[in-house]
Chains A and B, each alone.
Chain A
Amino acid sequence: MADSMKVRATAKDGMAEVKVLITHPMEPGNRKDQKTGKDIESHFIQEISFAVNGKSALTGQLSGGVSKNPYLYFQLPAKAGDTLNVAWLDNKGEKDSIDVPVQ
């Protein structure tokens, strides 16, 4: 699942505005395929983490109630030049991780 994430971290007023867009179906598992009538298997991100220079800044737990291709926006303690790591893990064990510099 490489390149599943677009991350922008911008230093502002002593914090960093962190915006993340993840390409993921976020399938909650309660829908049926309209053509075949079969249940669509659940497939959604369950955990996400943010770390600044290796130190955890925020962790999240998600359900399939988060929209497809999740967008997340937080304000984390970081300054320009810091390294932000964002990582996620889904219910099928798929995962991705990315390091971006704070600008």
Chain B
Amino acid sequence: MKTDNQRRVFLRGSLAAGSLGVALGSGLLPRTLLADWNKDAFGAKAMDDALKGLLGGNALEESAAITVTAPEIAENGAVVPVKVETTLAAESITILAPNNPVPLICSFTLGEGSKGFASTRIKMGKTGDVVAVVKSGGKLYSAKKNVKVTIGGCGG
């Protein structure tokens, strides 16, 4: 019985901690994590829809001021290193893989003074482009890099 009671208490505790309102109220969670993950944009199956949902538009202008660095050939699609750099005054950097089941991979909103730079590792289901979209001055600029994937990293 004792064990069971402890378990109840523990469950109640974790439920309370899991409730964002409580966490915010007690200052456990930084203000910037608002649980406002863009469900529609990340649920989109097409890149255009994802961009529209996330950034409010999908008219892209190719820009030489953005550099996307990724390997020519990725032997393992589960881990593809991607680096995006831009000299534009970037408000946000978004990385997409249009051939993935979920094209939208990640999007970063840059605060004041943060450099137009983002580097991470992504999954790619099959050969295709890695697209970087930079929002600057209310407009969307893009650059891409084709990556050949020999073993896909989505599904299985």
Contact = CB atoms under 8 A, between A and B. Distances in A.
Interface of A: 15, 28, 30-32, 34, 46-47, 49-51, 55-68, 70-77, 85, 87-89, 91, 93, 95, 97
B111 A56 contact: yes
B122 A66 contact: yes
Interface in B110-134: 110-115, 117-123
Interface stretch (B2-10, B31-39, B139-147): B31-39
Nearest to A55: B111
Interface of A is mostly: strand
B18 interface: yes
Interface of B is mostly: loop
A30 to B, nearest CB: 6
Contacts of B105: 62-63, 65-66
A59 B120 contact: no
7 contacts: A28-B102, A46-B37, A50-B111, A58-B114, A59-B109, A60-B106, A66-B105
A65 B35 contact: no
Contact of B38 (A30, A61, A76, A77): A61
The interface size bin for chain B is: 35 or more
Given A65-B100, A72-B119, A72-B120, 6 more contacts: A57-B113, A57-B114, A58-B110, A60-B106, A61-B38, A93-B18
Contact of A56 (B31, B107, B119): B31
Nearest to B37: A46
Given A30-B154, A73-B119, A77-B113, A63 B42 contact: yes
Interface-centre pick from A67, A77, A85, A93 (highest chain B CB count, 10 A): A67
Nearest to B35: A89
B133 to A, nearest CB: 13
B29 interface: yes
